[in-house]
Amino acid sequence: ETGVTQSPTHLIKTRGQQVTLRCSSQSGHNTVSWYQQALGQGPQFIFQYYREEENGRGNFPPRFSGLQFPNYSSELNVNALELDDSALYLCASSLDLGPRETQYFGPGTRLLVL
Amino acid sequence: QKEVEQNSGPLSVPEGAIASLNCTYSDRGSQSFFWYRQYSGKSPELIMSIYSNGDKEDGRFTAQLNKASQYVSLLIRDSQPSDSATYLCAVPLNSGYALNFGKGTSLLVTP
């Protein structure tokens, strides 16, 4: 157990809808990163938050957005869902920023877009 | 786009053998390297991290790093069926240090 939780565990949506996924980091962890993992692929970096500010973004369109809250929780919002958004969404928290910081992953939310 | 490359496998080894998993990366400035294990339907869990050239051992696992060749590997000694999983190599991005993952190598340890 990493102490990182995510909700919901599974979700089914239809194309064009909006979805909000939630993550609760380990207490004291200032950094949270979100990843998308399609079947048979490695996780792809979506964006990162550090102390409630966006600190970096991968190659994902603006319809992917997020927030980090003072209570170490965060959320990923996806608007105008597309079929290709079907994937496992992972959040990972770390104590701070740095190349040697260990990222601890939550169990993920599996999203299916029909 | 900085690349992290792994053979997708599957890599099949008999129980008790040594499994060797390889990873190459394109960014010469990379400082840290991580190996994660991911069981089917589960999230990645950290096995090893390595920062300096050479070998780092932890139980049955050894990570090897060669920065000149931009190559990092993971050896699993005395492989067990419970080691059957996908092994992900990850390198921090320059900005913010979020992880850039390879596609992963599927390992199957047969009894």
Per-residue pLDDT of A16-43, as tens digits, reads: 999 999 999 988 999 999 999 999 999 9
Point out the residue among A50, A58, A105 whose CB comes nearest to the CB of B44: A105
Residue B8: pLDDT above 90?
no
A59 interaction partners in chain B (CB closer than 8 Å): 1
What is the per-residue pLDDT for A97? 85
What is the per-residue pLDDT for B42? 95
Considering only alpha carbons, which residue of chain A is nearest residue B4? A42
Sign of the C-alpha dihedral computed for residues B7, A35, A19 and A27 taken in this order = positive
- Cβ of B99 within 8 Å of Cβ of A92? The answer is yes
Q: What percent of chain B stands above pLDDT 90?
A: 85
CA distance A40 to chain B (A): 7
What is the per-residue pLDDT for A33? 96
What is the per-residue pLDDT for A1? 79
User: Which H, E and C letters describe chain B, residue by residue?
Assistant: CCCEECCCCCEEEECCCCEEEEEEECCCCCCCEEEEEECCCCCCEEEEEECCCEEEEECCEEEEEECCCCEEEEEECCCCHHHCEEEEEEEECCCCCCEEECCCEEEEEEC
Choose among A104, A79, A61, A98: nearest CA to A20. A79
Residue A114: pLDDT above 90?
yes
- Cβ of A42 within 8 Å of Cβ of B93? The answer is no
What is the per-residue pLDDT for B15? 97
Per-residue confidence at A58, pLDDT binned at 50, 70, 90?
Answer: very high
Per-residue confidence at B94, pLDDT binned at 50, 70, 90?
Answer: confident
Residue B22: pLDDT above 80?
yes
Point out the residue among B43, B93, B98 whose CB comes nearest to the CB of A106: B43
Dmax over Cα atoms in chain A, in whole Å? 39
What is the per-residue pLDDT for A11? 96
pLDDT (tens digit per residue) in A39-55:
999 999 999 999 999 99
**Separation of first and last alpha carbons in chain B:** 40
The tally of CA atoms less than 13 A away on the side-chain side of residue A97 is 13
- Cβ of A42 within 8 Å of Cβ of B46? The answer is no
pLDDT (tens digit per residue) in A78-108:
999 999 999 999 999 999 888 888 999 999 9
Please list, residue by residue across A84-101, b when 16 or more beta carbons sit within 10 angstroms of its beta carbon and e when fewer do.
ebbbbbbbbbbeebebeb
Question: Which residues face A53 on adjacent strands?
Answer: A50
Q: CA-CA distance, A57 to A10, in Å (whole number)?
A: 25
